[in-house]
Amino acid sequence: MSQFLALSASSSFRRSGSRSVGNFRFQYITELLTNCARTLFALRTLKQHGLPPEAGHTVFQAIVMAKINYASPAWWGFTSADDGGRLEAFYRRCASFGYCNNNTTIASMCDEADERHFSKIINNPSYLLFPLLPP
């Protein structure tokens, strides 16, 4: 089972961040934010020990944003408003620490990734999902 994705055959909401998908419980956002918060703590510790700000920004983009953007076209549509708010709050907190810019949002990044993915599907007839599109 993936480190981030935990699906169980229960439709109950036991943990914050769960989202019911059919008879499965979708917990990706909670696991994602927990993992990113750990990385953010490590970055703040490195910053206190002399990590230059530009290096902190680079590490943030390479680790935290890569985790958030990973497969976002697959999971973004299943996020609730609460989960989206939690992701945006985390991103704003990271911006306040100086790791990212405040001019963009998680929603805009995920929507852009979704558009890029859909463009690849509709422009490539040999793409696996192309036959599923309407004529």
- Does residue 74 sit within a domain? yes
Q: What is the reported pTM?
A: 0.74
Q: Are 99 and 43 a contacting pair, CB within 8 Å?
A: yes
Q: What is the pLDDT of residue 13?
A: 43
Domain coverage including residue 81: 29-126
- Does residue 14 sit within a domain? no
What's the number of CA atoms in the CB half-sphere (13 Å) around residue 9?
A: 0
- Does residue 98 sit within a domain? yes
Total domains in the fold of the chain: 1
- Does residue 116 sit within a domain? yes
Give average pLDDT by consecutive 10-residue segment, the chain, 135 residues: 45 47 65 94 94 93 94 88 93 92 91 91 89 88
Strand ranges (DSSP E) for the chain? 19-21, 24-26
- Does residue 8 sit within a domain? no
Six token digits for residue 92: 């704003």
Neighbours of 131 (CB within 10 A): 8
Q: Are strands 24-26 and 19-21 parallel, antiparallel or unpaired?
A: antiparallel
Q: What is the pLDDT of residue 87?
A: 94
